[in-house]
Structure 1
Amino acid sequence: MHVPDGFIDAPVSLAAGAVAAAAVAVCLRGARRELDEKTAPLAGLVAAFVFAVQMLNFPVAAGTSGHLLGGALAAILVGPYTGVLCISVVLLMQGVLFADGGLTALGVNITDMAVVTTVVAYALFRLLVTALPRRRPAVTAAALTAALVSVPAAAGAFTLLYALGGTTDVPLGKVFTAMVGVHILIGIGEAAITALTVSAVLAVRPDLVHGARGLAKPLQLRAADGTVIEPVVSTAAPRPLRRIRAVALLAALALAGFVSHYASTSPDGLEKVAHDKGIDSKAEDHAAKDSPLADYQVRNVTDEWIAGGLAGVIGVGATLAAGTGVVVVLRRRRASAQARASSPGTV
Structure 2
Amino acid sequence: MHTTPLALHMTDGLLNAPTALLFGAIALAGIGFSLVKARATLDDRTAPMAGLVAAFVFAAQMINFPVLPGVSGHLLGGALVAILVGPWVGTLCVSIVLVVQSLLFADGGLTMLGANITNMALLGTAASYLVAVALRPLARRNRSGLLVTAFLAGTINTVMASVGFLLEYWIGGAAGFSVAQAVLPMLGIHLLIGIGEGIITALTVGAVAAGRPDLIRLLRATPSSGRPTARGDTESASGTVEGRS
| Pair in the same fold by TM > 0.5 | yes
The answer on 1:146 being equivalent to 2:153 is yes
Q: Is 1:44 paired with 2:51?
A: yes
- Secondary structure in 2 aligned to 1:173? helix
Q: Say which of 182, 203, 214 aligns to 2:189.
A: 182
Q: Secondary structure at 1:60's aligned position in 2?
A: strand
Question: Could you tell me whether the CA contact under 8 Å between 2:138 and 2:149 is conserved in 1?
Answer: no
Query: By how many angstroms is 1:156 displaced?
Result: 1.0
Which amino acid is the alignment partner of residue 122 of structure 1?
Answer: Y
Indicate the RMSD between aligned Cα atoms, in angstroms.
1.5
Q: Which has the higher contact order (CA 8 A, sep 6+)?
A: 1
- Answer yes or no: is 1:98 the counterpart of 2:98: no
Q: Does residue 171 in structure 1 map to residue 178 in structure 2?
A: yes
Alpha-carbon distance, 1:135 to partner = 2.1
User: How many positions carry a matched residue from both structures?
Assistant: 220
Q: Is the 8 A contact 1:135 1:217 kept in 2?
A: no
Instruction: State the alpha-carbon separation in 2 of the partners of residues 60 and 202 from structure 1.
Output: 28
- TM-score scaled by structure 2? 0.86
Please tell me whether the aligned partners of residues 219 and 238 of structure 2 are also in contact (alpha carbons under 8 angstroms).
no
Following superposition, the deviation at residue 170 of structure 1 comes to 2.1
Over alpha carbons, which structure has the higher Rg? 1
Which aligned pairs between 1:1-347 and structure 2 lie closer than 5 A? 1-130=8-137, 134-213=141-220, 214=234, 216=237, 218=239
Q: What residue identity is the alignment partner of 1:31?
A: A
Hey, what's the Cα distance between the residues in 2 that align with 1:133 and 1:15? 39
Kept after mapping to 2: 8 A contact 1:135/1:216 = no
Higher helix proportion: 2
Aligned-pair CA distance for 1:86: 0.1
Closer, same or farther: CA 58–203 of 1 in aligned 2, 3 Å: same
Between the aligned partners of 2:138 and 2:45, the Cα distance in structure 1 is 26
* Contact 2:139–2:219, Cα closer than 8 Å, also in 1: no
Residue type matched to 1:192 in 2? I
SS at match of 1:216: helix
Shift of 1:137: 2.0
Distance in 2, Cα, partners of 1:105 & 1:211: 31
Q: Give the AA of the match of 1:43.
A: A
Q: 1:185 to 1:37 in 2, by over 3 A?
A: same
Whether the 8 Å CA contact 1:88–1:114 is kept in 2: the answer is yes
- Distance across 2 between alignment mates of 1:199 and 1:87: 20
The two structures have a TM-score, normalised by structure 1, of 0.61
Write the distance in 1 (CA, Å) between the matches of 2:138 and 2:80.
20
| Alignment check: 8 A CA contact 2:138 2:146 kept | no
Deviation per residue, 1:182-236 (Å, 9 max, x gap): 00010111011100000000000000011112472746xxxxxxxxxxxx9xxxx
